Amino acid sequence: MRRLLAPLSWLYAIVLFIRHKLYDWGLLKSRSFSVPTICVGNLSLGGTGKTPHTEYLIRLLKDIANVAVLSRGYGRKTEGFVLANEETTYEQIGDEPLQYHLKFNDITVAVDEDRCDGVTNLMRLEKSPDVIVLDDAYQHRKIKPGLNILLTEYYNIYKKDMLVPAGKLRDIKMAAKRADIIIVTKSPKVLLPYDKRDVVDVLNAKPYQQVFFTYIDFQKLNPINKTAKETALQDMKSVYLFCGIANPYPLEDYLKRKYNTLITKYFDDHHCFNDSDIDMILSGYDSVIGKNKIIVTTEKDLMRLTNSSYINRFDNVPLFTVPIEVRFNDEKEEETFKNLILNYVGKNS
């Protein structure tokens, strides 16, 4: 299939190459801003861990600066600039921005498909941000971030992939040269030196680029409803997992190691749940043999159920989410990364 689709990928590559060159030559304009802007993005269609890495930056910066997160708001039903408030739903800003908003009540969250307009509107706020994190903005050449962070998966390095439709890349590999920092995500928790060296050799980073390695750290299951809070997790044997994320397999592997039985139901990334989906999920949970069972989803999927009529249908089943955070494989490298971010923000504030 890759061979058959390769010509289409080559045509797409030509279009992207011309577009990038127009920006490189200044024929298409990129706009920079006085406020520190940090872009977190990738070259692939998803699944590299942008959300937990964005949350890492929020935790790092929120106690020393007024942080704003600006996203496109994928899947929302609104247009233009929308600022999150207490009544905001995922239909207005999208699931990932809503997750940032609900988890961090001391930051500003906004969405705008035009990142330049979004930053402009944020800077006009009475309490304007000291630093703006641009979520998934690597392909948006109209804006020129002060710091570009490129994410790539350990088991699917962008250098070994192809452009869509033959592969999963949405941008050409040469676009990686704009990154200041490259983070290899979802790496093994125990990373052997020679495995790390092999990846670094494949990446062949530019002299001005620093490479870091992170892994996913799954947190303790979080009870969502009263039934879940009354459930003794230590006695549970079976899990019914449903989710609509780009790469559910690390989560699947984690739950397989913790529970005797795992049944899964996967949807497309950012899937908008409907009545038949909920019927299917609850029916699937009911079909799991035994009483010592729970139902699990992701924080991101929960955002598409929160404040909807569907969430109440889970009242009689123990519904949990699995919070995740990123950890650096090397403590010294983490300190280096933190210093890079803090020094950039400090010097440009």
State how far the Cα of 207 lies from the Cα of 94, in Å rounded to an integer. Answer: 37
H/E element holding 57? Answer: helix 50-61
Domains of the chain listed by start with CATH number: 2-14+30-217+328-348 (3.40.50), 222-322 (3.40.50)
Of 289, 283, 284, 190, nearest in space to 238 by CA: 289
State how far the Cα of 135 lies from the Cα of 54, in Å rounded to an integer. Answer: 7
Of 331, 250, 337, 343, nearest in space to 298 by CA: 250
| pLDDT at 232 exceeding the cut of 90 | yes
Predicted pLDDT of residue 14: 97
pLDDT tens digits, one per residue of 272-314: 999 999 999 999 999 999 999 999 999 999 999 987 889 999 9
User: 243-255 burial, b if ≥16 CB within 10 A, otherwise e?
Assistant: bbbbbbebbbebb
pLDDT tens digits, one per residue of 31-54: 999 999 999 999 998 889 999 999
Predicted pLDDT of residue 58: 98
pLDDT tens digits, one per residue of 250-281: 999 999 999 999 999 999 998 999 999 999 99
Q: How many CB atoms lie within 10 A of CB 18?
A: 9
Predicted pLDDT of residue 196: 96
